[in-house]
């Protein structure tokens, strides 16, 4: 890779820029016929091993499609962190076309491009962009991060400060202009704003995020009026704040600068944020109908990790399940979707962050292809632009377990009109269990000529027997359909490209009885829709039918706190309350890793005018109840002076006081 230095002559702060650089020789473009599988890629029908054995006849295994064999406008792939040398493009580049995903996300890396003020060296990034385009990939360029040569603070990672000082802001404007001119000339048309500016509390205000988004987008649009730009790029769904910022942008008449509202969708149980995403999509239709939702970063590690979704015992198997559930949920909620990330990230040579689809060494060289890589291949090979979301279509299930929550989405093949149903048990965080339940699926108006069941993780295809299918009016009903905590797809066999191995028989008679987690009938969980780090939990006590705590719950969730409402009756005595609170606290700590709860930040909030909890608190201290802190709303006159109360908030105008009380229990992600 040659070194290219670019001298910029500025005619104004962000005005015309003259660029001088030697011409590069364009790489030869790849085609489907010219692609050869990398040596480490397993293309056999046994490429993924699992213990999933349905009582159905094995048909064959999906043949994955590469990027030249289909159109996949809804998917994107993370190729981030190259600006900080945390991964190696040349170490994984040959695997990219085999995923079938066309769009990749790159970060511009201001601090790597401009080591000397006014002098830009794009050679490292040119090598990547040119190579990606030659392979048939499209680049979405992110503008992050800041540059230390313009002073401090200048964080070069997520959650860093936006450009605020005069020197940093002037440098930022010149940088964005130079980058936009250079890469629009290379055909880069898609852009994202500064990465995760809201990650650390107190870092960047929502007003500052809006201001930076408008400023940056206007510079890019001035260079390339046809550019497509993603706004916000927030950690978490942050639906309420996205709407607020959109209203600010609209008030300035700037909404047409942006084509996407970008959020990052992490959650231990990936299905948990689906409701928030669906509401975000609906809000965009109402407020800015030209904008789409884009899940712009979300992935799961293949082992214990120190950043997003930390504190959980991930494996390669649960990683594959998690990615499949997140991907299908995204497009099922009508949001674009990005897989984070192609290779492991070497943030530390002693502890590698294993979010990648490829496993790497501390020097970023490749070790192996993970199970999740093949799973992503299977998802993309089925769910591409051949299908469209069947808006308004519902499917129902009869399941063997009480409170079992089935996640499902209905799609339709554009050419044939055949239905495609993705479904799985979304009750819990995906894990290594592979025992199957059998469910009954009812699809109103169902049209599937020869239905088969596809296990998305393995890519194995199984026949659904005619005896399992019946019609009741317009309803198509399939009995004894396999289901577990990873997506299965019911689809017409003719829509699949399948490898049929000779004389291979898979199948068995394994029945399953998945253990269900116990639930208290009077405990109502209001967990965060998605967190990147375990968050505090607050138990609210409320009287059934009297206490309206929903406004408080909404404030707490917006502030990043899990809420568990423990309802009781007016006849509940202190002894019963004592038993219930202890049980709830024990339940939360037992599931802290799965639910992303900080185990030493579990609190109780009681209202002074509710006699039962106050009577209990007068007798029991925090240690006896198992809680870490206590919040009292109202006067504490019912409690002895010796009873410690960490936080006291007023009955009215309690919002700010409650936020302040809980701030110290929250933790930064990075």
**CB neighbours of residue 430 within 10 Å:** 29
**Burial (Cβ within 10 Å: 0-12, 13-18, ≥19) of residue 570:** exposed
Domain's final residue, options 385, 416, 445: 385
Do 559 and 649 belong to one domain?
A: yes
User: Is 61 a member of any domain?
Assistant: no
Dist. CA 317–CA 111, nearest whole Å: 37
User: Is 417 a member of any domain?
Assistant: yes
Do 259 and 351 belong to one domain?
A: yes
Q: Which of 342-351, 518-527, 528-537 is predicted least confidently? A: 518-527
Is it the case that residue 9 has pLDDT exceeding 90? no
CA-based nearest residue to 529, from 265, 333, 245? 265
Give me the CATH number covering residue 474: 2.60.40
pTM for this model (two decimals)? 0.85
Dist. CA 181–CA 196, nearest whole Å: 24
Do 582 and 654 belong to one domain?
A: yes
Give me the CATH number covering residue 611: 3.40.50.1820
Do 438 and 491 belong to one domain?
A: yes
CA angle 193, 244, 155 (to 5 degrees): 35
Packing angle, helices 316-332 and 371-382, rounded to 10: 20
Do 412 and 477 belong to one domain?
A: yes
Check if the beta carbon of residue 76 is closer than 8 Å to that of residue 337.
yes
Sorted by sequence, the CB contacts under 8 Å of residue 270 that are 6+ apart come out as: 298, 300, 322, 325, 326, 329, 430
Q: Which of 228-237, 401-410, 607-616 is predicted least confidently? A: 607-616
> Of residues 23 and 533, which shows the higher confidence score?
533
Is it the case that residue 1 has pLDDT exceeding 70? no
User: Is 46 a member of any domain?
Assistant: no
* Residues in a beta bridge with 475: 444, 472
Q: What share of the chain is helix, strand, coil (3-state, %, to 5)?
A: 30, 25, 45
User: Is 504 a member of any domain?
Assistant: no
What pLDDT band is residue 517 in, cutting at 50, 70 and 90? very low
Identify the domain containing residue 421 by its residue range: 389-499
Do 396 and 416 belong to one domain?
A: yes
User: Is 433 a member of any domain?
Assistant: yes
Give the start-end residues of each E strand in 464-507: 469-472, 475-483, 488-492, 498-499
Sorted by sequence, the CB contacts under 8 Å of residue 386 that are 6+ apart come out as: 70, 71, 413, 414, 415, 495
Is it the case that residue 537 has pLDDT exceeding 70? yes
Do 570 and 450 belong to one domain?
A: no
User: Is 29 a member of any domain?
Assistant: no
What pLDDT band is residue 371 in, cutting at 50, 70 and 90? very high
Give me the CATH number covering residue 138: 3.20.20.80
Domain's final residue, options 329, 363, 385: 385
pLDDT of residue 13: 34
Do 422 and 564 belong to one domain?
A: no
Do 407 and 550 belong to one domain?
A: no
Is it the case that residue 20 has pLDDT exceeding 60? no
Do 408 and 537 belong to one domain?
A: no
pLDDT of residue 313: 84
Domain's final residue, options 336, 362, 385: 385
Residue-wise pLDDT tens digits, 549-567: 888 888 898 788 999 998 8
User: Is 243 a member of any domain?
Assistant: yes
- Three-state secondary structure call for residue 82: helix
Dist. CA 51–CA 44, nearest whole Å: 18
Do 586 and 598 belong to one domain?
A: yes
pLDDT of residue 351: 79
User: Is 263 a member of any domain?
Assistant: yes
Is it the case that residue 143 has pLDDT exceeding 90? yes
Packing angle, helices 239-251 and 206-223, rounded to 10: 60
Copy the structure tokens of residue 1.
Answer: 């890779």
Task: Say which DSSP state 253 is in.
Answer: T
Do 150 and 286 belong to one domain?
A: yes
Residue-wise pLDDT tens digits, 353-364: 999 999 999 999
- Structural domains counted in the chain: 3
Q: Could you tell me how far CA 204 lies from the centroid of its own chain?
A: 22
Within 13 Å of residue 315, how many CA atoms lie on the same side as its CB?
A: 8
């Amino acid at each position: 890779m040659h070194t290219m230095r670019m001298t910029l002559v500025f005619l104004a702060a962000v005005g015309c820029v003259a660029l001088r650089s030697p011409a590069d020789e364009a790489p030869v473009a790849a085609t489907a016929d010219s692609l050869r599988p990398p040596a480490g890629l397993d293309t056999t029908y046994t490429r993924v091993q699992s213990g999933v054995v349905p009582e159905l006849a094995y048909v064959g295994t999906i043949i994955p499609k590469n990027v030249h064999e289909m159109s996949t406008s809804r998917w994107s792939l993370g190729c981030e962190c190259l600006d900080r040398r945390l991964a190696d493009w040349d170490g994984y580049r040959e695997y990219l076309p085999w995923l079938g995903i066309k769009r990749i996300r790159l970060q511009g890396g201001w601090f790597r491009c401009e080591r000397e003020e006014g002098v830009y060296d794009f050679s490292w990034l040119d090598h990547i962009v040119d190579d990606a385009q030659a392979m048939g990939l499209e680049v979405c360029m992110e503008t992050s991060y800041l540059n230390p040569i313009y002073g401090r603070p200048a964080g070069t990672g997520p959650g860093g400060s936006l450009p605020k000082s005069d020197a940093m802001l002037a440098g930022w404007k010149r940088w964005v202009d130079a980058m936009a001119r250079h890469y629009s000339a290379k055909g880069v048309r898609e852009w994202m704003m500064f990465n995760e500016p809201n990650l650390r509390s107190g870092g960047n205000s929502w007003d500052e995020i809006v201001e930076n988004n408008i400023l940056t987008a206007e510079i890019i649009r001035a260079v390339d009026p046809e550019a497509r730009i993603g706004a916000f790029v927030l950690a978490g769904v942050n639906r309420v704040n996205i709407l607020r910022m959109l209203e600010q942008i609209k008030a300035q008449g700037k909404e047409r600068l942006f084509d996407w509202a970008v959020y990052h969708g992490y959650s231990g149980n990936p299905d948990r944020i689906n409701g928030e995403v669906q509401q975000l999509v609906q809000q965009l239709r109402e407020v800015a109908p030209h904008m789409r939702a884009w899940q712009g970063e979300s992935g799961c590690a293949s082992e214990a990790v120190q950043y997003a979704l930390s504190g959980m015992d991930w494996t390669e198997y649960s990683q594959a399940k998690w990615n499949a559930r997140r991907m299908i949920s995204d497009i099922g909620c009508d949001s674009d979707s990005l897989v984070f990330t192609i290779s492991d990230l070497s943030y530390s040579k002693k502890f590698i962050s294993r979010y990648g689809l490829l496993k790497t060494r501390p020097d970023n060289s490749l070790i192996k292809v993970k199970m999740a890589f093949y799973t992503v291949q299977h998802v993309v090979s089925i769910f591409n632009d051949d299908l469209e979301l069947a808006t308004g279509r519902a499917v129902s299930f009869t399941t063997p377990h009480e409170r079992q929550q089935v996640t499902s989405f209905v799609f339709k093949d554009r050419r044939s009109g055949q239905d495609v149903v993705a479904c799985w048990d979304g009750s819990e965080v995906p894990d290594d269990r592979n025992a199957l339940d059998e469910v009954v699926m009812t699809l109103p108006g169902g049209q599937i000529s020869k239905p088969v069941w596809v296990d998305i993780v393995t890519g194995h295809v199984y026949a659904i027997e005619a005896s399992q299918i019946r019609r009741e009016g317009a309803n198509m009903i399939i009995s004894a359909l396999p289901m577990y905590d990873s997506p299965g797809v019911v689809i017409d066999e003719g829509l699949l490209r399948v490898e049929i191995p000779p004389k291979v028989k898979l199948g068995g008679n394994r029945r399953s009885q998945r253990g269900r987690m116990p639930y208290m009938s009077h405990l109502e969980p209001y967990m965060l829709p998605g967190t990147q780090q375990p968050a505090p939990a607050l138990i609210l006590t409320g009287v059934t039918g009297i206490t309206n705590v929903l406004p408080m719950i909404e404030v707490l969730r917006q502030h990043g706190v899990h809420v568990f409402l423990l309802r009781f009756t007016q006849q509940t005595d202190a002894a019963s309350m004592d038993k219930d609170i202890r049980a709830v606290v024990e339940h939360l700590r037992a599931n802290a890793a799965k639910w992303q709860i900080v185990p030493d930040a579990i609190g109780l909030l009681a209202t002074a005018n509710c006699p039962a909890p106050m009577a209990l608190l007068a007798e029991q201290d925090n240690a006896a109840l198992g809680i870490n802190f206590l919040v009292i709303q109202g006067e504490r006159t019912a409690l002895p002076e010796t009873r410690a109360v960490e936080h006291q908030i007023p009955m009215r105008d309690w919002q700010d006081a409650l936020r302040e009380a809980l701030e110290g229990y929250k933790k930064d992600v990075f």
